[in-house]
C-alpha cells in the first residue's frame, strides 16, 4: 500500500479539504534486499555544501551509496576511494582545481572510473570538452536529481560490461 499524506487547507474556506495524496515508495524500500555491495557507489565532488548535501541525500534515497568531497584536492587525497567507486560526479567549477583538470589528474593517477559532470555551466563548448576527455555524462543541474540518477545507473551498468 502506498504511503499517503493528508493535505489540510489553512483558511476557513479550505478547512474542509481532505485530500489523500499517494507518495511513491522509497527506492530504499524497494531495494531493501540488496546488500551494500550491490549498490552503485558514487563519489561527488561539489564545493557548494548545501547543494552537495541535497544531491547526496536524494541519491541515497534513490538507492545509491554516496561519498562526498568539497573539492578536488580532497578527492585526490582519497585515491583509494576514487578507484573503488562505480561513478564519479564532478562539478565543472571547483576551487583550486577545475572539474576538467581534476578529470585529467585522476586519469594521470590511474583512476579510470567512469565520470559524469553535474554543472550549472552547461555551455556546448564545456560539454564537448568533457566528452573529448572521456566523461560519460554532462548533466545541467537544473535537470534535477532524477536525470542524474538515471544517467548514473546507465553509466554504472555500461561500466560493468567492460
Tell me the pairing of strands 40-45 and 137-140.
unpaired
Integer Cα distance of 147 and 144 in angstroms: 6
Residue ranges of the chain whose pLDDT lies below 50 = 1-33, 161-162
- The answer to whether position 1 is within a domain reads no
The pLDDT value given to residue 129: 95
- The answer to whether position 71 is within a domain reads yes
| pLDDT one-digit tens code per residue, 78-105 | 999 898 999 999 999 999 999 999 999 9
The pLDDT value given to residue 158: 87
Cell of 111: 583512476
Q: What is the CATH number of the domain that holds 30?
A: 3.40.50.2300
The pLDDT value given to residue 37: 60
**Farthest-apart Cα atoms in the chain, separation:** 65
Number of domains the chain is built from: 1
- The answer to whether position 31 is within a domain reads yes
Question: Which range of residues forms the domain containing residue 112?
Answer: 26-160
Amino acid at each position: 500500500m502506498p504511503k499517503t499524506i493528508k493535505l489540510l487547507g489553512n483558511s476557513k474556506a479550505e478547512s474542509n479539504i481532505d485530500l489523500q495524496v499517494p507518495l511513491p515508495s522509497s527506492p530504499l524500500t524497494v531495494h531493501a534486499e540488496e546488500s551494500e555491495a550491490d549498490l552503485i557507489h558514487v563519489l561527488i565532488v561539489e564545493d557548494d555544501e548545501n547543494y552537495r548535501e541535497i544531491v547526496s541525500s536524494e541519491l541515497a534515497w534513490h538507492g545509491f551509496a554516496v561519498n562526498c568531497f568539497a573539492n578536488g584536492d580532497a578527492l585526490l587525497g582519497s585515491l583509494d576511494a576514487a578507484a573503488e567507486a562505480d561513478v564519479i560526479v564532478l562539478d565543472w567549477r571547483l576551487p583550486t582545481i577545475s572539474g576538467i583538470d581534476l578529470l585529467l589528474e585522476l586519469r594521470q593517477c590511474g583512476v579510470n572510473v567512469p565520470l559524469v559532470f553535474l554543472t550549472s555551466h552547461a555551455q556546448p563548448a564545456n560539454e564537448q570538452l568533457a566528452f573529448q576527455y572521456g566523461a560519460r555524462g554532462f548533466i545541467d543541474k537544473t535537470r534535477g536529481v532524477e536525470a542524474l540518477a538515471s544517467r548514473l545507473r546507465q553509466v554504472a551498468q555500461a561500466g560493468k560490461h567492460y
